[in-house]
Structure 1
Amino acid sequence: MTRPFDAIIIGSGQAGPFLAERLTRAGQTVALIEREHLGGTCVNDGCIPTKTLVASARVAHLARRAADYGVMLGGPVRVDMAKVKARKDAVVQASIDGLTSWLENMERLTLIRGEARFEGPHAVSVNGETLTAPKIFINAGGRPVIPDWPGLADIPYLTNTGMMGLDALPEHLIVVGGSYIGLEFAQMYRRFGAAVTVLEYGDRLIAREDPEISQAVRAMLEAEGIVVHTGVRDFAVRPDAAGLRLTATGLDIPGSHLLLAIGRLPNSDGLDLAAAGVETDARGYIKVDDRLRTNVDGVWALGDINGRGAFTHTSYNDFEIVAANLLDDDPRQVSDRIPAYALFTDPPLGRVGMTEAEVRAAGRPALVGVMPMTRVGRAKERGETTGFMKVLVDAQTQRILGAALLCIEGDEIVHSLLDVMAADAPYTVIQRSVHIHPTVSELIPTLLGQLKPLD
């Protein structure tokens, strides 16, 4: 049996439902295929649940610091992990319910639960049925990397997905991976009360950032009691009375739980892309052009699977780019967007544009400004002076090249810089603005007024 549609979307992650809505509103019939959970990683085991857990962990942390603010609490702070999980589950379920209702009531949309595989450039099989369409959008996302360590098959281990099921506090959580996912879980579970050890293969944490960012984040985590080891090699694990024992270069660590956070892989290997002639790179990411078109006419790839961004916001922007080109006669493209993301530790790291290393590698004459948070009145009032703000500016054009804001509300403040960069306006627009006192953002003009040549 074959069913024809105007468009087929494989995967209901961030880009998929919004693209389905635009296409159906334009009068097209659409099949949206989802093999597991509506909403993809973000809704089920990514952004929404993890940031809900981060919020609970922050409350526990502030409660322990209550006396610093003159607030006296009775007895030690206790965390009920079952209730923490229940709160997280409720937030996630509300998101899933809203998305499900939206999709199930969308006119001209057929929602199909099952696993899709290509039969040809414009034909997909699912649940024993063949679907055809002149336009197919691959939005199948990614999954955690599982290493090939000696002994790993003999012990239980967790990924970001498995962490969502914990309703009891680990005695000792070993986190392998010192980047965004690993560090967020490390800090939140330390704040819940677990002993936490972070092991990183590289020579420093979050190696994509400039060294002083890595150093500051490490110091911040170690100040909360997290043990950090970098340059770790030759991992092996085995069962132990405590749960497991991990050995590596110069290390022998018992733990109750093991979290693997060492990267992600695209879900391209199960789609039988060869049947459609769709090309991938050496890592399995689907090759796309600046408008997210694959090498096969009428086939696009959006979200984590295309290797052009690994965030919910870049996935949503992928939808915007495709919809603009297909439906709005608006030639938007991937290269138009400015890289921006955040590390949701506490304080968070808001990042936009180029790092200092990238600016130096480009050979551009640049200015740099750095301000420690100990100079920011709002941070002192809140008792949260950890971190600093750093901005890089092109010395000739006065355009902001990049920024790293490791500070209270840095994940929000960074957008003021992003917007000026997107407007292609000089940094003086911010420098000469009158900001509200007392805020963190009011120090951005001061920071920009103290720029110095990058040596």
Structure 2
Amino acid sequence: MTIQTLKLEISGMTCDHCAKTIEKKVSAVDGVVSKSVSYPEKKGEFQFDSKKTSAKEIIDAINSTGHYKVVGEIKKENEESTQFDLIIIGGGSAAFSAAIKASELQKKVLMINDGLPIGGTCVNVGCVPSKTLIRTAEQFHFANHPNFSGIKPGNNEIDFKEVIRQKTELVEALKEHKYIDVLKDDDNVTIIKAYARLLDKNTVEADDKKYSAENILIATGSTTFVPDLPGLKETGYLTNETLYELEELPEHLIIIGGRYIALENAQMFARLGSKVTILQRSNRILPDEMPDVTETLKEYLEEEGIEILTGTKINSVNRKNSKVIINASVKDEEKIIEGTHIFIATGRKGNTKEFGLKELGIEIHKNSFIKTNEYLQTSIPNIYAAGDVTGEYLVIYSAAYEGSLAVQNMFGENQTKKDYSVFPYVIFTDPQVAGVGMDENQAYENKIEYEASTIQLKDVPRSLAARNTKGFIKLIRDKQTDKLIGARILASEGSELLMEISLAIKYGITVKELKQMFHPYLTLSEGIKLAAISFEKDVNKLSCCAV
């Protein structure tokens, strides 16, 4: 059903408090998505899921107060249309970015979404809940393990249920303010809550009704790729869609996987108080990173009590009473791992089943992802795909970029190729892993005569003052041109250094020019300057602020 908007004239309000009272009363109606009541205008606007409630129930809730009365409904001028310029299937970052761009171009847009609520993976079960929980765990960890000897840790305890409640509160607030509120008053955009199915290249069916459009954008996102392990399905497991809904802290969390989702959650739950074991198939965590990054991070994680088993092949999974039991071969040695919960973090797969893609001949590749060309077109030219469902860069900012770019290419006079030549990324462990551009292997493969310069954080004044010297900053330059071509950073808040390096790479700033820039003393960004200087000099032989 459509997420419907109900506009009402309301009598009896005498102040802003009255408006708040009505909003609170309507909030108790199951299915209400958003509410906004204005005392000066004597009006209220409500969005609701018509599968769960109705306009009558909302009106009855207002009238039941006895003080306020609905005196009329403000009707829409136009009846529902089935013809649009663009139909978007999905409701996450790529979908919203596309809808906003299309509306700016004065195109009529229909967004069809079901499964995860509006906002998609990031705000509901990905970036937002994980990062706020990571920050919670970080504060708890440093309260109990301060870096300064003059601070005596107390008997700090965690209220896990309250942590989850506060996480949910943030998710709901951002979902409303950054998604629902953004489009609710946009006359160019209609949102329907339903599962969609492509009938042909211009027609989509949703809730037994057919809609047509000049162009279609598939932005259905991704879900956890669950490996076919004997006994796993019967034993039960958690994914990112269920992990953040737990109300009790796992006693012993076993994580299958060793990339960014696995590592972020491993450290977060370990800091909150869980025992954590990581089972990684390859011989290194983060196998796409260089060994200096992965081995140093592994050492830090193990110092916090996280057990990391690499080169692991899982033979079977089963449950005995309250325990989950994994039989595995760890570097050819048989091992039994017992825990209380299993979290699957073995990669992602595209949400492409049951949309009619196969019947239409849309090409799929890798783990059920949609194959697109450099303009984000699928194998059918007027059908585009953007975001996680393409399987290229599975982060919110690339999804937003692709959603907007796809619309620009649909309706613009000139098509623009997607450009990921300078793409910064972050893994939110502590210390963070931050990277942009090429690493040494990629420079070698591209036949670039490169040089790397690494400065340890123990040589960065800000890190010394903070008594947090874990990690390093590594810059990579083209020796022939002196231009930066990449960087890898392992540092607390290392992500905050990425944009300076990204801009330097994009606009061809040389290492010499970077060294000449003023970098305030006792900032982490000074580490970039020191790493640049260390291409030519030993910074240990320089005084503070010396060049």
TM tier, smaller: over 0.9
Question: What's the CA shift for 1:309?
Answer: 1.2
Residue 114 of structure 2: aligned partner: 35
Of 16, 21, 25, the residue aligned with 2:95 is 16
Residue 143 of structure 1 contacts residue 265 of structure 1 at CA under 8 Å; is this kept in 2? yes
Moved more, 83-92 or 322-331: 322-331
Partner Cα separation in structure 2 for residue 328 and residue 122 of structure 1: 19
Match of 1:278 among 362, 366, 387: 362
The 5 A counterparts of 1:56-205 are 56-66=136-146, 68-74=148-154, 76-98=155-177, 99-205=179-285
Counterpart CA distance in 1 for 2:361 and 2:212 is: 16
Alignment of 1:264-343 (within 5 A): 264-326=348-410, 329=413, 331-343=415-427
Q: What one-letter code is carried by the residue in structure 1 that aligns with 2:114?
A: R
Task: Letter of the 1:166 partner, please give it.
Answer: L
1:386 aligned onto 2:470: yes
**1:237-258 C-alpha deviation (Å, 9 max, x unpaired):** 1112342111100220110111
Give the aligned partner of residue 212 of structure 1.
292
Calculate the TM-score normalised by the size of structure 2.
0.80
SS class of match (2:364): coil
Q: Match of 2:157, as an amino acid?
A: R
Letter in 1 for 2:251: E
Q: Distance in 2 between matches of 1:384 and 1:66?
A: 10
Counterpart Cα distance in 1 of 2:450 and 2:423: 19
CA distance in 2, matches of 1:341, 1:331: 26
CA–CA distance in structure 1, aligned partners of residues 128 and 411 of structure 2: 30
In the alignment, does 2:437 pair up with 1:353? yes
Q: Judge conservation of contact 1:2–1:132 (CA < 8 Å) in 2.
A: no
* 2:498 maps to which of 400, 410, 414: 414
SS of residue in 2 equivalent to 1:58: helix
Over 3 Å counting, the alpha-carbon distance change for 1:378 and 1:193 in structure 2 is same
Amino acid at match of 2:89: I
Contact preservation (8 Å) 1:235, 1:248: yes
Q: Distance in 1 between matches of 2:465 and 2:413?
A: 50
Whether the 8 Å CA contact 1:2–1:130 is kept in 2: the answer is: no
Contact 1:8 1:133 in 2 (8 A): yes
The 2-side partners of 1:197 and 1:120 are apart by 48
Cα offset, 1:2, TM superposition:
8.8
2:426 aligned counterpart, secondary structure: strand
1:451 is displaced (CA, Å) by 2.0
1:374 partner SS = helix
State how far apart, in whole Å, the 1-side matches of 2:143 and 2:407 are.
46
Residues 9-28 of structure 1: CA deviation (Å, up to 9, x unaligned): 11111111121122123221
Partner of 1:373: 457
SS of residue matched to 2:175: helix
Is the counterpart of residue 396 in structure 1 residue 480 in structure 2?
yes
Q: Does the CA contact (< 8 Å) of 1:121 and 1:275 recur in 2?
A: no
- 8 Å CA contact 1:347, 1:406 repeated in 2: yes
Q: Could you tell me how far apart the structure 1 residues matched to 2:336 and 2:258 are?
A: 18
Counterpart residue identity of residue 347, structure 2: G
- Indicate yes or no: 2:545 matched with 1:437: no
Aligned match of 1:426:
510
Deviations 1:196-255 (A, max 9, x none): 111100000000100111101100100000011000013311112342111100220110
Aligned to 2:205, the other structure's residue is in SS state strand
Moved more, 88-97 or 290-299: 290-299
| Residues 4-56 of structure 1: CA deviation (Å, up to 9, x unaligned) | 11110111111111211221232211100111211111011111110000010
Give secondary structure in 1 for the equivalent of 2:480.
coil
Shift in CA distance, 415/255, structure 1 to aligned 2, threshold 3 Å: same
* Alpha-carbon shift at residue 326 of structure 1 (Å): 4.3
Query: What's the counterpart of residue 428 of structure 2?
Result: 344
Q: CA deviation at 1:77?
A: 2.1
**Cα distance in structure 2, aligned partners of 1:182 and 1:213:** 16
In structure 1, distance between residues paired with 2:389 and 2:412: 25
Scaled by the length of structure 1, what TM-score is found? 0.95
- Output aligned runs, 1:241-260, within 5 Å: 241-249=321-329, 250-260=334-344
Is this contact kept in 2: 1:2–1:129, CA < 8 A? no
Question: What is the rounded CA distance, in whole Å, between the counterparts of 2:278 and 2:518 in structure 1?
Answer: 42
- Whole-angstrom CA distance in 1 between matches of 2:419 and 2:184: 34
1:433 aligned partner, one-letter code: M
Q: Deviations over 1:323-356 (max 9, x none)?
A: 4434565653223542321110011111101121
Q: Name which one, 1 or 2, has greater alpha-carbon Rg.
A: 2
Is residue 455–residue 534 contact of structure 2 (8 Å, CA) maintained in 1? no
Contact kept, 8 Å, 2:98 with 2:400, in 1: the verdict is no
Q: Distance in 2 between matches of 1:165 and 1:336?
A: 34
Larger RCO, structures 1/2 (Cα 8 Å, 6+ apart):
1
Deviates more, 1:323-332 or 1:215-224: 323-332
C-alpha contact 1:347 1:410 (8 A) present in aligned 2: yes
Task: Tell me: CA distance 1:259–1:424, structure 2 relative to 1, closer, same or farther (3 Å).
Answer: same
Q: CA deviation at 1:156?
A: 2.1
Q: Which moved more, 1:89-98 or 1:200-209?
A: 89-98
Distance in structure 2 (CA, Å) of the matches to 1:67 and 1:290: 48
Deviation at 1:269?
2.1
| Counterpart AA for 2:185 | N
Distance 1:445 1:281, change over 3 A: same
Give distance in 2, aligned partners of 1:410 and 1:334.
27
Q: Which amino acid aligns with 1:173?
A: L
Contact 1:144 1:159 in 2 (8 A): yes
Gap regions ≥5 residues in structure 2: 1-79, 537-547
C-alpha change, 1:248 and 1:175, in structure 2 (3 Å) is same
Structure 2 CA distance, aligned partners of 1:129 and 1:208?
Answer: 46
